[in-house]
């Protein structure tokens, strides 16, 4: 089985690239984030022509997540119980069972700055997510993948000094991610296609991608049974190249069951 996660930064703007990438990468399941479209506007017909069924959760202009699967989509859950809002709940998590595995696509709140209320929202969102995932883990095989908006270690940003005092690297954010790992979720480390740093995000501005000044903030966490079956995981930096890319690259995981 091959699955992937990708923050597409608008599924409408990225549709031609998404369809091309689906054809060439041929994943069985895809976790999408920042679709920026309501459920009615999601291009389900277009991905359907490639054999994918869709479970979308969207709200329009901001956020939005989805699952694409060509191995079935059952028991779809939009959001999760007790999910915090800002102030209202946002479209940041969707999960479904695909071929016996529960996949959850997550778009963790950004946090903006450490002194912003959005930062406390981010930490609370991750805290409640942890409790939800504990229950999901008890129920069976689980993959939680998406844009976590946290760089778990200093090596996950191109220059730690630049990020001092910023979100994405603070100890409370890193502790919130570590708490997910402590549940028994295993970080599936993706290799870089080029260079030593498997970054998944590069700012559009100032040629950051071409200088490889990026961040590793998109992650795949898997239950231990699945993590043991992983045969390869890679950041598809090819998808970040060229005209009209997302600012995130997909992470593609292969596992042999």
Site residues for DNA per CB under 7 A: 7, 9-10, 12-13, 34, 36-37, 60-62, 109-110, 112, 118, 147, 149, 167-168, 201, 203-206, 215, 217, 244, 247-248
Q: Provide the 3-class DSSP secondary structure of residue 139.
A: helix
Q: In the 8-state DSSP scheme, what is residue 4?
A: E
Nearer to DNA, 180 or 215 (CB): 215
Nearer to DNA, 9 or 186 (CB): 9
Nearer to DNA, 9 or 25 (CB): 9
CB of 27 to DNA, least distance (A): 21
Nearer to DNA, 101 or 151 (CB): 151
Farthest-apart Cα atoms in the chain, separation:
47
Q: Provide the 3-class DSSP secondary structure of residue 161.
A: helix
CB of 142 to DNA, least distance (A): 23
Buried residues in 32-67 as b, exposed as e (16+ CB within 10 A): bbbbbbebeebbbebbeeeebbbbbbbbeeebbbbb
CB of 251 to DNA, least distance (A): 14
CB of 7 to DNA, least distance (A): 6
CB of 201 to DNA, least distance (A): 6
What's the 3-state SS for 213-230?
CCECCEEEEEEHHHHCCE
Nearer to DNA, 12 or 257 (CB): 12
Name the phi and psi angles at 47, rounded to 5: -75, -25
């Amino acid at each position: 089985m091959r699955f992937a996660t990708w923050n597409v930064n608008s599924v409408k703007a990225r549709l031609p690239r998404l369809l091309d990438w689906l054809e060439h990468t041929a994943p069985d399941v895809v976790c999408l984030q920042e679709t920026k479209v309501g459920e009615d506007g999601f291009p389900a017909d277009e991905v359907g022509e490639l054999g994918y069924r869709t479970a979308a959760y969207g709200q329009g202009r901001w956020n939005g997540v989805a699952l694409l699967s060509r191995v079935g989509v059952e028991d779809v859950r939009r959001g999760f119980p007790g999910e915090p809002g800002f102030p209202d709940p946002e479209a940041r998590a969707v999960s479904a069972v695909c071929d016996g595995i529960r996949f959850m696509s997550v778009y963790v709140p950004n946090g903006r700055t450490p002194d912003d209320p959005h930062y406390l929202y981010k930490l609370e969102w991750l805290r409640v997510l942890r409790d939800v995932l504990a229950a999901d883990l008890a129920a069976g095989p689980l993959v939680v993948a998406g844009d976590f908006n946290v760089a778990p270690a200093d090596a996950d940003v191109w220059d730690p000094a630049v990020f001092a005092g910023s979100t994405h690297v603070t100890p409370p954010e890193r502790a919130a991610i570590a708490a997910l790992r402590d549940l028994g979720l295993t970080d599936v480390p993706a290799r870089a296609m080029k260079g030593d740093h498997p970054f998944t995000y590069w700012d559009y501005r100032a040629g950051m991608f071409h200088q490889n000044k990026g961040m590793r903030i998109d992650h795949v966490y898997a239950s231990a049974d699945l993590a043991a079956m992983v045969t390869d995981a890679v950041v598809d930096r090819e998808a970040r190249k060229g005209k009209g890319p997302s600012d995130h690259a997909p992470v593609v995981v292969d596992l042999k069951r």
